[in-house]
Structure 1
Amino acid sequence: MPTHKILVIDDSKVIRMRVKDMLPEGNFDVIEAKDGLEGFNLIRTENPNLIMLDFLLPKMSGWEVYQEIQKQQKYRSIPLVLMSGRKEEVTDKLPEPFEYFAFVEKPFDREQLVDAIRDSMVKAKKQPQGLSTGLSEESSSPPSADIAAVTSEVKALKLKVAKLEQESEQLKRQFNQLVSFIKQKFK
Structure 2
Amino acid sequence: MASNKILVIDDTTVVRVKVREMLPPGNFQVLEAKDGLEGLNLIRQEKLGLIMLDFLLPKMSGWEVFQQIQSQPDLRKIPLVIMSGRKEEVTEKIIEPFEYFEFLGKPFDQKQLIGAIKSAMTKAKQPRQEPSQKVAAPAVNNAIAATSSSEGESAAQIQALNEKIAKMQAEIDGLKKQLAQVVTFIKQKIK
Number of residue pairs the alignment of both structures matches = 135
1:25 CA displacement: 2.9
For 1:62-104, what per-residue CA distance to the aligned partner results, in whole angstroms no more than 9, with x for missing partners? 0000000001111000000000001000000011110000000
Letter in 2 for 1:60: M
Map 1:32-51 → 2, pairs under 5 A: 32-51=32-51
1:27 CA displacement: 2.3
Q: Distance in 2 between matches of 1:95 and 1:23?
A: 29
For 1:99-149, what per-residue CA distance to the aligned partner results, in whole angstroms no more than 9, with x for missing partners? 000000000000000000000001001141537x9xxxxxxxxx59xx9xx
- DSSP-derived class of the 1:15 partner: helix
Q: Distance in 2 between matches of 1:54 and 1:113?
A: 13
- What corresponds to 1:95 in structure 2? 95
1:2 CA displacement: 5.8
Matched, 1:31 2:31: yes
Q: Alignment identity in percent? A: 64
Matched, 1:77 2:77: yes
- What corresponds to 2:179 in structure 1? none
Map 1:4-23 → 2, pairs under 5 A: 4-23=4-23
Letter in 2 for 1:81: V
Structure 2 gaps, min length 5? 138-191
- Name the larger-Rg structure: 1
For 1:34-82, what per-residue CA distance to the aligned partner results, in whole angstroms no more than 9, with x for missing partners? 0000000000001211000000000000000000000111100000000
Distance 1:70-1:127 versus aligned 2 partners, 3 A rule: farther
- What corresponds to 1:119 in structure 2? 119
Q: Distance in 1 between matches of 2:46 and 2:34?
A: 15
For 1:2-40, what per-residue CA distance to the aligned partner results, in whole angstroms no more than 9, with x for missing partners? 621000000000000000001123321100000000000
- DSSP-derived class of the 2:68 partner: helix
Q: Distance in 2 between matches of 1:27 and 1:33?
A: 20
- What corresponds to 1:104 in structure 2? 104
Q: Distance in 1 between matches of 2:18 and 2:27?
A: 17
RMSD: 2.0
- DSSP-derived class of the 1:75 partner: helix
Task: State the TM-score, normalizing by the size of structure 2.
Answer: 0.67
Letter in 2 for 1:3: S
Q: Distance in 2 between matches of 1:118 and 1:125?
A: 11
Q: Distance in 1 between matches of 2:130 and 2:90?
A: 23
